[in-house]
Amino acid sequence: MNASRRREAVRRMLEGPAEPVPPDLAGAAARRGARLRRGRRVLRRFAWGLLAVLVVALVVWVALESPWSARPVPAPPPMDW
């Protein structure tokens, strides 16, 4: 569709009668927005809680395993000739 046809289509839409807006549109939008905010807040709290659990698990693992220390070298087998 070229530009002149688009302009003509827009002009026809704007010249026609305006469709009525539902009377509860603002209330429905506010309820939907509140629901979305609540869902995002729950998701954010869950993510922070999961991060806290992972950090605690990492600290416990590091405290118990000491992964930075060198492991003892096993003794060589006895040489019985």
Q: How many CB atoms lie within 10 A of CB 64?
A: 8
| Assigned token pair, 51 | 């991060």
Whether 21 maps to a domain, the answer reads: no
Whether 51 maps to a domain, the answer reads: yes
Scanning 16-75, the segments in alpha helix (DSSP H) are 25-65
- Total count of domains within the chain: 1
Whether 19 maps to a domain, the answer reads: no
Whether 52 maps to a domain, the answer reads: yes
Where do we find the tokens 């006895």? 78
Strand locations in 1-81 (E): none
Whether 49 maps to a domain, the answer reads: yes
Whether 48 maps to a domain, the answer reads: yes
Whether 43 maps to a domain, the answer reads: yes
**Tens-digit pLDDT profile for residues 27-59:** 999 999 999 999 999 999 999 999 999 999 999
Whether 18 shows a pLDDT value over 90: the answer reads no
Whether 54 maps to a domain, the answer reads: yes
Where do we find the tokens 């302009």? 7
CA–CA distance, 44 with 25 (Å, rounded to integer): 28
Percent of the chain clearing pLDDT 90 (strictly above):
63
Domain membership of residue 45 as a residue range? 39-65
pTM (2 d.p.): 0.59
